Amino acid sequence: MNFRRTRAVARKEFLHILRDARSLVMALALPLLMILLFGYALTLDVDRIPTMVFDSDRSPESRELISRFEGSRYFHILGAVRGYRSIEQKINRDECMLGIVIPQDYSRDLLSGHAPQVQILFDGSDSNTASIGLGYANGIVQSFAAEIRERAQNLMGKSAPTSPVEPRLRVWYNSQLKSKNYIVPGLIAIILMIIGALLTSLTLAREWEMGTMEQILSTPLRPVEIALGKMSAYFTLGVVDMLLTIIVGVGLFQVPQRGSYVFLVFSGCLFLIGALFWGILISALSRTQLIAYQLAMLTSFLPAFLLSGFVFAIETMPVPVQVVTYLFPTRYFVAMLKGVFLRGVGIEALYAEVLLLALYAAIVFMVAVKRLRQKVA
């Protein structure tokens, strides 16, 4: 390999990037647009659930229970209704998701020590939100019932029964349980994979469409020099995109960054190299920019979004799908980002992911060079 020829290819790509102002702006603006859009729009937090109340008891205890729901950030009380039919109509019209029905004998059963009943009607169309919301509602009802019973026992001069076990919960790494704290770091991996694959997937295909690939093949350039030269130019642009997304994530979205910035940038560069070589491989497999673009989106966005653990936990997937996730580098980089941002760990805990990313980049590079050699021949 001749580094002079490699540098000449890199310089040619740099000049092409600088002269194509629209592509340059898109390459820099698209990551910012994506992280802003996904960061604000994509959230898994279940709060401010639209709620209607049907209170048949109309007692101080029932009103106090309703006030507990009003004081919780997880529920938004829209108003009161006078029957089941009204709740059903509002759920059918998507005007509310939750209905709370308090029966007439609620306060009597509660104060007499019997088990009071409160009916929770939830729209199960969104099963994830419904299951989480039901857990919040059950927690409020049960804690309020226990508090009222303790008051009644004190008024009667009896000591309230104590629980033999007192649970004390401590949430590590994301104590506020905000979904953006793990969604935004994962977005960095998604954006780098998409941008990296798209940037280089169009390079060789564009050369074929413009008719300049024959001129390149007539030079003494070797396939490895073509691959490294084109990758070097877009690697610089990819690093700029990575730094921009990190700055926006930490500065704008206030995501905690507890680990080393040096290790974060190093792992990002390693992942970016693999993504860029993947784009070069796609470009070597196709001679039109349209096909290259479609292949890049199909093989970068979908696996990165669905099979990386970015949104959906890999542990909950079927075993065959879990095995497939090992083939995609985004799985390892998402785990590294969450470890660096939230846990503050470094290479001592993430060395396996680093080695796998390096192995992936080496394999894709060798396959891309081999494919280029076949085309040159």
Residue-wise pLDDT tens for the chain (377 aa)?
A: 777 888 888 888 888 777 877 777 777 888 888 888 888 877 777 788 899 999 888 888 888 888 989 888 889 999 888 888 888 888 888 888 899 998 888 888 777 767 778 888 888 887 778 888 888 888 888 888 778 777 766 666 665 555 566 677 787 887 777 888 888 888 888 888 888 888 788 777 777 777 777 677 677 778 788 888 888 888 888 898 899 899 998 988 888 889 899 999 999 999 999 998 998 888 888 878 888 888 888 888 888 888 888 878 888 889 999 999 999 999 999 999 999 998 889 899 999 999 999 999 999 999 988 887 765 55
Place of tokens 């470009």: 283
DSSP state of 342: I
The three-state secondary structure class of 288 is: coil
**Looking up tokens 């019932």, which residue turns up?**
145
Residue 263 neighbours by CB under 8 Å, 6+ apart: 340, 346, 347
The pTM of this model reads 0.80
Is there a contact between 327 and 314 (Cβ–Cβ < 8 Å)?
no
Separation of alpha carbons 338 and 267, rounded Å: 12
Cβ neighbours of residue 136 closer than 8 Å, sequence gap 6 or more: 46, 49, 72, 74, 75
Contact by Cβ (8 Å): 136, 74: yes
* CA proximity to 239, closest of 260, 261, 270: 270
Half-sphere exposure at residue 288, Cβ-oriented, CA atoms within 13 angstroms: 3
- In this structure, CATH architecture of domain 49-155: 3-Layer(aba) Sandwich (3.40)
Residue 33, CA distances (Å) to 24, 196, 310, 338 in order: 14, 16, 18, 22
Tokens standing for 341? 């941002």
Rg of the chain, C-alpha, whole Å: 29
Are the C-beta atoms of residues 210 and 291 closer than 8 Å to each other? no
User: What sections of 286-346 are H helices per DSSP?
Assistant: 289-306, 319-325, 329-338
Domain boundaries, given as residue ranges, for the chain: 3-43+178-376, 49-155
Which tokens in the block code for residue 330? 């985004």
CA distance to 222, 234, 244, 273, 366, per residue, from 278 (Å) = 19, 13, 22, 9, 11
